[in-house]
Amino acid sequence: MIKMNNYKLKKYRKLTVAALLILVAGVYSACTKQDDFKKFVAGGEISYTGKLDSVKMYSGDSRVLLKGLFLADPKVVSCKIFWNNMKDSLVIPVVKKNVIDTLNYSIPIKTEGLQNFIIYTYDKMGNKSIPVYANARSYGDRYKASLSNRAVSGGERASDGTATIQWLGMDKLTGVFATEIQYTNTSDNLVTVRTPIDSTRSVLKNYKSGSTYKYRTLFLPDTNCVDTFKVDYITNLSVDEDMTSLLSNAGPFVRDTWDGSRWGTLAGWITSAGAKNINNNLYGGYELRSGVGVLSFESGWGINTPVTNGLIYQTITLPAGKYTFRLSGLDQNSGGSRYIAVAAGNTLPNVTNIPTAAIAYSNISSGELNFSLSQQTTVSIGFAVSIDNSGQYLKIKSVKLLKWAK
């Protein structure tokens, strides 16, 4: 038996008492913490259901679209969505069929504008998930009232049956992205063509002559919008008929006779003696310019004779209607008398008689002539020009004859 002296024994007793005090304090602290925890879970332990995952929201027309995933938690039986500062809400029943199920739900929204949403899922005991926050915009009557149709700048139907509609531009900040056109083709089928907003024209193939078309403009207010907004159709629109095929040699112009270098006369056009002021009055009306044939009047610049009562025209028969005779590639300087004119009969009046004898006339600088015929009429249409020899000229690359839509 080991004996301790009095000093060691007293020291050992002190250490034992200290250890017991520490142990008692630890037990008391643990009991206290456990009691405190019980206060917070007096009704049982907190249980959270699995939240809606991968949430995305999309804007729409008086609605927003909610998409998300229900993951592996089998306890979820419903999903509740709050918005408008918790004043509005709806409940979506959840019946899981797979380990991961998809939610795709349209939420009707009465108030237009940006909406903030709080989303919870619930189990059958009423335990809810942690909140999920999202936002999306609803568009309604206010946005719709700001929308309008794109404007048409013109429309023509070519002789091959292809109609072309020309468009004016629009402000893209409205969300405009396309124009939708419906027309009847030559097989009497209704055809729909969609033209992007960046395109300035729509091509309508096999357009039925004399028929009408309608169009409307399409909008997406933002890149997350799931609904396309459409304004009302503008209906009963017609295209002008291209009657240029009734003319001979409408451009680029081809020559009849020429000097083998630059000057000549026009094939298919009647050219008066006054228009032939080049090379001893042999040539006039045609010029090979930068490799392209153009209709030409020119004096001066080494050509000593003026153009006096120079007439270049064709005679054709047209049905009743309204017409435009249009010039392209016009290049000229000023001076003299320069007319586009149309007159009844087989000849074009002299320059001095144009204002009184023509059905209609305009200055060549206008680039076109508009005229009307009340009945089928044989007309002469073309140019009447008098210019001096001080270097005056005019050049035209091509002409077009259009019959207006009714």
The residues, any chain, with a CB within 8 Å of residue 243's CB and separated by 6 or more, are 318, 323, 401, 402, 403
Give the Cα-Cα-Cα angle 100, 106, 108 (nearest 5 degrees). Answer: 150
Q: Which amino acid is it at 338? A: R
∠ CA 216-221-223 to the nearest 5 degrees?
Answer: 120
**CATH no. for 53-142:** 2.60.40.1930
Instruction: Give the pLDDT of residue 46.
Output: 60
Please give the Cα distance from 227 to 139 (Å, whole number). Answer: 10
**351 in helix, strand or coil?**
helix
103 strand-pairing partners = 68
Q: Let me know: does 107 contact 66? Beta carbons within 8 Å.
A: yes
Q: Is 220 helix (H, G, I), strand (E, B) or coil?
A: coil
- 3-state secondary structure at position 216: strand
Mean pLDDT of the chain, nearest integer: 89
- Residue 400 is predicted with a pLDDT of 96
pLDDT on residue 24: 39
Q: Which fold has domain 246-403?
A: Jelly Rolls (2.60.120)
63: tokens are 């609605």
Residue showing tokens 């939420």 = 107
Q: Is 12 helix (H, G, I), strand (E, B) or coil?
A: helix
Residue 306 three-state SS: coil
Q: Is domain 147-241 in CATH 2.20.25.90, yes or no?
A: no
Same fold, 147-241 and 246-403: no
* Six-digit token string for 129: 């998930």
pLDDT at 356: 97
pLDDT tens digits for the chain (406 residues)?
444 455 444 444 544 444 434 443 444 444 444 444 344 344 555 667 899 999 999 999 999 999 999 987 889 999 999 999 999 999 999 988 888 889 999 999 989 999 999 999 999 999 999 999 999 999 999 999 999 999 998 899 988 899 999 999 999 999 999 999 999 999 999 999 999 999 999 999 999 988 999 999 999 999 999 999 999 999 999 999 999 999 999 999 999 999 999 999 999 999 999 999 999 999 999 999 999 999 999 999 888 899 999 999 999 999 999 999 999 999 999 999 999 999 999 999 999 999 999 999 999 999 999 999 999 999 999 999 999 999 999 999 999 999 998 6
pLDDT in tens, 31-63: 444 444 344 344 555 667 899 999 999 999 999
Distances (CA, A) of 348 to 345, 375, 393: 8, 19, 21
pLDDT at 34: 47
pLDDT digits (tens, 9 = 90+) for 221-264: 999 999 999 999 999 999 999 999 999 999 999 999 999 999 99
Domain boundaries along the sequence of the chain: 53-142, 147-241, 246-403
Tokens coding 42: 């007096």
Q: Is residue 146 classed exposed, middle or buried when 0-12, 13-18 and 19+ CB atoms within 10 A define those classes? A: exposed
Confidence (pLDDT) at 47: 66
CA–CA dist 195, 177 (Å, integer): 9
